[in-house]
Structure 1
Amino acid sequence: MKIYLWSLIILALPILTFAQTLDFNPNTLNEIAEAEAKGYTARLLSPQVAPSEDYDVKYHRLELNINPAVRYIKGKVTTYFQTLEANFSTIHFDLNDPLQVDSVLYRGKKLSYTHSDMVLSINLPNALDKAVLDSLSIYWQGEPADNGFGSFEQANHSGAPVIWTLSEPYGARDWWPCKQTLTDKIDSLDVLVTCPKAYKAASNGLLRAELEKGTEKTYHWKHRYPIANYLVAFAVTNYERYTEYANLKTGRMPIENYVYPESKISAQAGTKNLIPVIELFDSLFIDYPFHQEKYGHAQFSWGGGMEHQTMTFIVNYGYELLAHELAHQWFGDHTTCGSWEDIWLNEGFATYLSGLAYEFLQPQTQNWYNFKSSRISSVLSRGDGSVFVTDTSSVGRIFSSRLSYNKGAMVLHMLRWKIGDEAFFQGVRNYLKAPEHTYGFAKTPQFQAYLEASSKQDLTEFFKDWYYGQGYPTYQINVRQEGDLKVIIRLNQTTSHNSVSFFEMPVPMVLTGAGGKTYEVRLDNTFNGQEFTVYPGFKITQAQFDPNLWLVARTSGLTVGTTDVKKGGFALYPNPTTALTRLVLEERAGNIRRVVVNSVNGALMNAPVQVLNQQEASVDLSALPVGDVFCTGGNGERVWVQNVVKN
């Protein structure tokens, strides 16, 4: 199936190549997670307070006056809304207290209002019926609260002032009157920013007009896709602007870049490498969700990046950071996680997609392998922790780089391994295309249902183990050859956390023989101690566990040996060995009564023996010197002797 997918990508995107190697940096993801956790703190410490679930926002027209040299905002917002209940007489907006409301206009007349405890309540002159479309305008100004969350920030870069917003779901009210919710997206939006004409303003959607008047200039941005409140943003400074283009399935689309003048060279070197990435994601998944408008970057001075819809705010132009934030346009902006418990649907996907950029676009490098190795090592650094967020009051847990990002990404990777490339990517496409998820919200059970439909597999156990459960498995693997063609593989497993007693997973292995012959096997491991019989067609000399890094797992031992029960009633494997060997008595030979180890001179050796069952015993040779020894097994009536090579 992977061959099919590669063929699909290569045929659709023949230009996906790089002129240079973009080296994997294992620290990038931690930096992304830390920056996003810092920014998202505002969401948790500032919950929604305005009772606003009785109306649906249809449209906002934001008109803002900004001077980046002065930390101040003055604006007007016109809101079109539709009532969801009858007898609608008061409309509520979220607005932080430091901001002052000058007036509210409704059908040309001023309305009365109250503004306290971060809630703006406006009294309508007459109650409205259900399903009525209406509008009003709010005028406000003030210095936004400096709460350290980055919702409205002023800074300097190389002596030039800059102001940007980083709203988050509960930070938008710090700078404009809005409805803060994760359940209602704004259907369409216009943002008009007036600033001194020495500066440029970047925002969502397409730049429709630049209107100069005296010493000021107004930038009119128009966005005609549904957008979550926290993804509305603007930034103002002395930007330099340049445009690149991506060739998507729907046609040629601009990528608008607003960068600090001092960063232009590094920005151009970085953003050109993102063009094949956006073309890749557009082909692997659904069309770029906002292809009728644009994608873009606006530089700011906050650590990491923020995936504002159609205009990511970015601190630098590192490859993985750019790919991660781009991926959020599909997973986070187009389809948004419906709760903090499901944050992995945003962050796990964005992390995994940055890895897919290495896999598909840099196959000649080690970056994809290094990406997976780094993610697995992060997860294995502790034995606990689920992808499912059990404590949504903890910012550190929600934005845990180990769990929400790394383990989330590897859960997707293991799902892909379990159900195959074709079913995985088709299931993800169906999930994104679903009407309820198109510019909407989703939770994990819905995602699971789409993968089950595409794969025709029941994934209940997988999600129970890997999403809700904690920890990971450790495998002990014994491989023994019987005769010239037959190989027996035995898998034993322990788990790092008691929330999962056993991880049911297909286990990949590669058997190697003389002359470089290889035989790949996929072992559907459903219970502990399970044995598999395979026929590679040659004598094996080596076995590898998961060489391509599909699984989040450890191995406590992988032993390879041969079995020849015809030599006298029992087998020893592995043989040779560096530590443990296992004695297996033929069932017809009775039960094990005694096992001893002697040197070639007949001296009794100190080799601990553990009888595992009536036919098997484990013999520990780790303390013995290198060389030949003899292992003797008896059933009380007969004894058998076999040579063992201790390496």
Structure 2
Amino acid sequence: MKKITLLMLLCIGSLHLAGAQPQFKAQAHQTCADSRLLNATRMAVASPQHMQLMNLYDVTFYGLDLALERNSVYITGSVTTHATVKSAPLSVFAFELHPNYTIASVTINGIQQSNITRNGSDVSVNLTTTVPAKSKVVAVVNYSGTAPNGGNAAIGNGFNTARESQWGNDVTWSLSEPYAAYEWWPTKQVLTDKADSVHVAVTTSPENKVGSNGLLTNTVTLPSGKVRYEWKSRYPIDYYLISVAVSDYEEYVQFANPAGAAKPIPVVNYVYKGSLANYKNQIDFTPPLIEHFSELFTLYPFAREKYGHSMAPIGGGMEHQTMTTQSTFTFTLTAHELAHQWFGDNVTCASWQDIWLNEGFASYAEYLALQHFSADAAQSWMADAHNRARAAKQGSLRVPDTTNVGRIFNYNITYKKGAAVVHMLRYEINNDQLFFKALQNYQTEFGGGTASTTDLQKVMEQTTGKELGYFFKQWYEGEGYPGFTLAWNQQDGKIVIESKQSTTGTTPFFRTDITYQVQTTTGTEAFRVTQTKLTQQFAFTVDGEVLGVTMDPDNWILKDVTQTVRNNNLPIPDFSPVVVPNPVSGNVATITDLGFTPTTAIIFDRIGRKMRLQTIVQQKEIQLQVTTLPAGLYFVQLTDGQQTQRVKFVKL
């Protein structure tokens, strides 16, 4: 793929570097969260009793057939739901619909029902004929009314209309996340019950276009002069990802060609009338991003249909499946919403308490996209993410109150700390091939369904062979981040670094790998160690006089480093490990003259990649197997869990 320079990115105004605010969903949360929280908090889910009734069936299909206009929130039409009854006979068909709407009729399996009870948004239909267990249900709800204006969605209302100020376009759009689908159509708002497919048909005035999920299979001009747009998707889809957007759009179609796709993937863009020349250069990043993310995460999950955008003045973006809604096309916004097609749409969090699986990974994809085009821009992005995550101080990635929309979409925690934790997970695994293979396995195993953080941990452990319980305990369930105070001392060719850790939250200790960069009069050397207790010393051999010590020079770890000083009173451990022979020309390298009895030896290559881990039986000399190592410079990290020593050798 053609590389695009940082200058080119800046020229089209698409980068958000340190100190800049990305223009996507979370920004809207920050601007309106305070006012929303002043209102009486609505229960973000149906009543427990109603949830039990809805969970008596599994949805297989939604069909929306609606009449909409670009300057109105009045809705009239019908929604057809296909479902399978679970293990008990179904005597009540339950769904959610806002009380603003009048229900004209409900038919179940072709029989019109008369016993309909409404309690707020909870609608219960007492069936005239009980449906046996394991049988099919076809429910058709005819309804009409004006959408509410309660601001319960992640950005504003579930269904809204407005005049876009810059280009003067009237737009009507939906945005159902997390619990606002009921504000515009009768639905079952349960994350773990994805429909197998969805059809969305919208009748509107002839000058309009309608964007929605899947493929546009038909456009029919009706005798009334209006036009009916028929969209169909045959991929599993969650309720909040079903969408509509209506305006007198311009259409701009591109194609992406990721490896493994059976045919080019259309990218269908519905942009404000008169705006295409302004946005085209930015939109043109979409196909290369599809191709890049397909390399990293698996083939674009909806390759048999399309990707695309429908513009709406929402102050950011919303990852509607196969057709994202965006207010603009800044680079990181487009990357973020596109990445949601994998993380959020293909694999959806099984509970809103795990929203970081959607937003943290999509935010990290912003970093990956920048990294692909400009390493400096990516580093600035991560520095900003760490600053914002530190600003949160308290608060776990796990959302404790899923009725609080503001907490679900807390910008500093869910988005920025979420991205920082993904970055640290990549660092802990210390093998990009395995890290991205694990992400691909996660997509393969849970694609088309839902997953929890426990599911992610399981896939990561199975793929990498690394036990990660400590990592998720402290970074997903825990609060805060570590702070470090460092001291060092040198004598001859030996250096000792003492790290004292404190924490800002309720998590008492963060076990983490740490890379120390030691600058000497002869150059710089990097040492990767594992801190396993609050105060720990690490000892190394170095060439030359030490000029300074830097913790985590590449900024992998969410942390504070408050002080790094030389302490001439810090005792130097008595050790002089050597490798013989050195250089090593055979299959075995021997380490002698140890000042302690290590239990493990880890070999790193010259750029810090872990090449081999060897368990050591207590002995005075260590025999390292180096047969499979290619020629080059290597570092051996020796540890007993209390102290760490480092020695280097050359393999011929």
TM-score calculated relative to the size of structure 1: 0.80
Aligned residue for 1:615? none
Shift of 1:124: 3.6
Residue-by-residue CA offset, 1:566-606 (whole Å, 9 max, x unaligned): xxxxxxx45xxxxxxx365999xxxxxxxxxxxxxxxxxxx
More deviation, 123-132/441-450: 123-132
Asked whether the equivalents of residues 28 and 320 of structure 1 are also in contact (C-alpha less than 8 Å), the reply is: no
Contact 1:48 1:170 in 2 (8 A): no
Matched with 1:15 is 2
Structure 2 residues without counterparts, runs of 5 or longer: 575-652
Unmatched segments (≥5 aa) in structure 1: 1-13, 561-572, 575-581, 588-647
Are the structure 2 counterparts of residues 69 and 115 from structure 1 closer, same or farther at C-alpha, using a change threshold of 3 Å? farther
Contact 1:208 1:222 in 2 (8 A): yes
Relative distance call for 1:108 and 1:407 in structure 2 (3 A) is closer
SS at 1:288's partner residue? coil
Determine helix, strand or coil for the equivalent of 2:185: coil
Indicate which of 486, 489, 498 corresponds to 1:490: 498
> What CA distance in whole angstroms lies between the structure 1 residues aligned with 2:297 and 2:570?
52
Q: Please tell me whether residue 449 in structure 1 is matched to residue 458 in structure 2.
A: yes
The amino acid of 1:450's aligned partner reads: V
CA distance in 2, matches of 1:586, 1:338: 51
Structure 1 residues 391 and 115: alpha-carbon distance in aligned structure 2, compared to 1, 3 A threshold:
closer
State the partner residue of 2:61: 59
How far residue 376 of structure 1 moved from its aligned partner, in angstroms, is: 1.2
What's the offset of the Cα at 1:159? 4.4
Distance 1:356 1:44, change over 3 A: farther
Deviations 1:401-449 (A, max 9, x none): 2211111111111111111222322222222211xx2221111122111
TM-score of the aligned structures, taking structure 2 as reference length: 0.79
Moved more, 452-461 or 182-191: 452-461
Supply the AA of the counterpart residue of 2:510: F
* Most deviating of 117-126 and 402-411: 117-126
**How far, CA to CA, are the matches of 2:488 and 2:557 in structure 1?**
19
Indicate if the aligned counterparts of 2:397 and 2:413 stay in contact, CA closer than 8 A. yes
Cα shift at 1:60? 1.9
In 2: Cα distance, 1:112 partner to 1:586 partner:
85
Q: Which amino acid aligns with 2:219?
A: E
- Tell me if structure 1 keeps the 8 A contact 2:353–2:402: yes
2:428 aligns to what?
418
Give distance in 2, aligned partners of 1:470 and 1:169: 24
Equivalent of residue 558 in structure 1, options 537, 557, 564: 564
In structure 2, relative to structure 1, the CA distance for the partners of 1:504 and 1:229 (3 Å cut) is: same
Match of 2:25 in 1: 32
CA distance in 1, matches of 2:546, 2:174: 61
Deviates more, 1:517-526 or 1:85-94: 85-94
- In structure 2, distance between residues paired with 1:86 and 1:471: 46
The match for 1:368 is: 378
Task: State the secondary structure of the residue aligned to 2:298.
Answer: coil
SS in 2 for 1:20: helix
4+ residue stretches of structure 1 with deviation over 4 A? Answer: 36-44, 106-109, 583-587
Work out the CA distance in 2 between the residues paired with 1:466 and 1:586. 33
Output the amino acid matched with 1:319.
F
Distance 2:186 2:381 in 1: 42
Deviations 1:155-186 (A, max 9, x none): 12344432111122421222222222122111
1:543 aligns to 2:544 (yes or no): no
Which range is displaced more, 367-376 or 85-94? Answer: 85-94
Q: Which residue of 1 aligns with 2:611?
A: none
Q: Relative to 1, partners in 2 of residues 1:376 and 1:537: Cα closer, same or farther, differing over 3 Å?
A: same
> CA contact under 8 A between 2:392 and 2:413: conserved in structure 1?
no
Counterpart code for 1:405: Y
Q: What does residue 89 of structure 1 align with?
A: 91
Give the CA deviation at 1:543: 2.2
Provide the secondary structure at the position in 1 that maps to 2:438.
helix
Three-state SS of the structure 2 residue aligned to 1:429 is helix
2:496–2:573 contact (8 Å) kept in structure 1:
no
Work out whether 1:350 is the aligned partner of 2:362.
yes
CA distance in 2, matches of 1:377, 1:304: 21
- In structure 2, C-alpha distance between the alignment counterparts of 1:415 and 1:125, rounded to whole Å: 54
CA 1:161 to 1:31, structure 2 compared with 1: closer, same or farther past 3 Å?
A: closer
Cα pair distance change 1:200/1:103, threshold 3 Å:
same
Q: Does 1:307 find its partner at 2:319?
A: yes
Q: Which amino acid aligns with 1:134?
A: V
Q: 2:177 touches 2:240 (CA, 8 Å); kept in 1?
A: yes
CA 1:396–1:73 in structure 2 vs 1: closer, same or farther (change >3 Å)? closer
> Could you tell me which residue of structure 1 aligns to residue 633 of structure 2?
none
Letter in 1 for 2:564: L
Question: Which segment is superposed worse, 205-214 or 231-240?
Answer: 205-214
Q: In the alignment, what sits opposite 1:270? A: 282
| Number of residue pairs matched by the alignment | 548
User: Hey, what's the Cα distance between the residues in 1 that align with 2:442 and 2:100?
Assistant: 42
Q: Distance in 1 between matches of 2:131 and 2:571?
A: 83
Note the C-alpha offset of 1:73: 1.2
Measured in 1, the distance between the counterparts of 2:399 and 2:221 equals 49
Aligned to 2:193: 184
Q: 2: CA distance between counterparts of 1:311 and 1:69?
A: 21
Map of 2:604 onto structure 1: none
State how far apart, in whole Å, the 2-side matches of 1:203 and 1:474 are. Answer: 47
Q: Does 1:288 align with 2:290?
A: no
* In 2, Cα distance between equivalents of 1:529 and 1:108: 71
User: Aligned equivalents of 2:342 and 2:369: distance in 1?
Assistant: 15
Q: Contact between 2:349 and 2:355, CA under 8 Å: does it hold in 1?
A: yes
1:70-149 map, 5 Å? 70-106=72-108, 108-117=110-119, 118-148=121-151, 149=156
Cα distance in 2 for residues equivalent to 1:120 and 1:527: 55
| Pairwise CA distance, 1:221 | 0.4
Asked if 1:408 corresponds to 2:395, the answer is: no
Q: Does structure 1 residue 230 correspond to structure 2 residue 240?
A: yes
Question: CA offset at residue 133 of structure 1?
Answer: 1.8
